[in-house]
Chains A and B, each alone.
Chain A
């Protein structure tokens, strides 16, 4: 039987750009180019490796986001995923983590799945909670923050490297997995992959398709409210000295002045 893998990928503003908030205190997406969250490339890579090790597997990449979020799906498809699902609806604007997890969970159930693979965190909200939220909503095991992962005979195994210990984890499918950037470099799409991606099917769903009411998501339905967003004042220019033999001493002098020594 075919192993159905769903990879959740997020479309985010480029972290190297000048990211801002819009007037309604949601992320300003017009100012900065968007792209597939770099940490989700690791999720796509691990899904591809799991597929390559399986007899028969199919990878669906799933995103919840505005029209441009299809770019994130194309990137994942060009890396080798088989098909895409894009949940897009004007009423989704301003959705928070609880809302996003609700939409993702419904879309995953509709698509059908044995394994859900996520990144460790997005590069914008960077909460790192979506995989746990999904496991709770789908009522399946969470096998998260893995630096190594494999699937064999309906069992997912992984290594979770924590602060105090490294743990070996195991769960039966269906399950939700998230992988860290230690799991292995993501492959670059080949020219052939990029051309093939253009022909791969992408299904677009809206809230009605998922039987979600508009007031359960979006800014209005959000469980959290951002009341203020202020740009951090630029740091006042510090002292920079050139080492001409005394650099270490001068620095010690400064640290002593600040009472660090």
Chain B
């Protein structure tokens, strides 16, 4: 069976959920070969094998952390040359998309970004995309070269499918031309202990209606009662009430959870672009005419300062 390269997104060997989803999708079109760059391959390999990787190609080099993106493209290209895969899959993160783009140019292949589903087709893998703020669903394929496809988080449920996961060292030479953009310093973000926004099963977001940073704990309390991630509209972020990394929408994160709760958010097209594919949508807004209500499965017209705390209490007591 044809091999499919899967680029592994991880933090020091802790494999992130979207990669497990990629392995699951990869098995629909061939045998997954995982590419692990950087530290922690020993930790990652068993997890990758558990989810279907027949092989794990690994490489570590200081250049991966000293320079932006390009050295990782060199490595992925080396893996591509070693394997001659039927497709290359990457997560649709900022970095994943940039690596995919540069690899596509190098190997003369087309690229599809932000796929939300993937299936085998007569002429190669067919990707489903959700476009124009999720108002259209398209099906596309790469018609020249080896398909390079990036997939959004939450596009498939990760399935266990134990495979050999043979670890092999990948020989990588980082080209001088790949050392153009130096990472001079890096300030890690503090973890909030909450689930990752793009991966969370439930997201609770607050907007301008929250009316101040001092009120965001209200949103956080509801999120914590549900084990959810916290999101925010751009209005709330621009006002400095919540960090930009939590922004949901066109220029923020795109989320596709089982449940999305919007509190004090009107539902502008750019916000919808980032959450419209959520399975169940709930809104709390005091304006019955707010466009967000066009999207909801369940909506409450009311003051969030009354509804949100009452809901949080109710959730807590039901969970006991």
Interface residues of A (CB under 8 A from B): 15-16, 19-21, 25, 39, 96-98, 101, 120-121, 123-124, 126-130, 132-133, 135-137, 139-145, 147, 157, 160-172, 175, 180-182, 222-232, 235, 238-243, 245, 247-252, 254-256, 258, 260-261
Contact = CB atoms under 8 A, between A and B. Distances in A.
A9 B138 CA distance: 25
Interface in B68-100: 68-70, 73, 93-95, 97-98, 100
Contacts of A251: 282, 284, 298, 300, 307, 311, 314
Contact of B298 (A25, A239, A245): A239
B214 interface: no
Interface in B133-147: 133-145
Contact of B296 (A126, A163, A238): A238
B177 interface: yes
A242 B301 contact: yes
A175 to B, nearest CB: 7
A162 B68 CA distance: 12
B250 A247 contact: no
Interface of B: 11, 68-70, 73, 93-95, 97-98, 100-102, 104-106, 109-114, 126, 130-145, 177, 180-189, 196, 202, 226, 244-245, 250-251, 258-259, 269-270, 273, 280-282, 284, 288, 293-303, 306-315, 318-319
A227 B132 contact: no
Given A223-B142, A231-B136, A123 B250 contact: yes
Contacts of B299: 238-241
B136 A98 contact: no
Contacts, number: 259
SS class of chain B's interface: helix, strand, loop or mixed?
mixed
A243 B302 contact: yes
Contact of A260 (B109, B184, B226, B300): B226
Contacts of B301: 240-243, 247
B307 A224 contact: no
B315 to A, nearest CB: 6
A132 B46 CA distance: 33
Contacts of A256: 318
A249 B314 CA distance: 6
5 contacts: A127-B97, A133-B101, A224-B111, A239-B298, A240-B288
Query: Which 5 A-B pairs have CB atoms at the shortest separation, nearest pair first?
Result: A248-B310, A243-B302, A223-B110, A141-B180, A252-B314
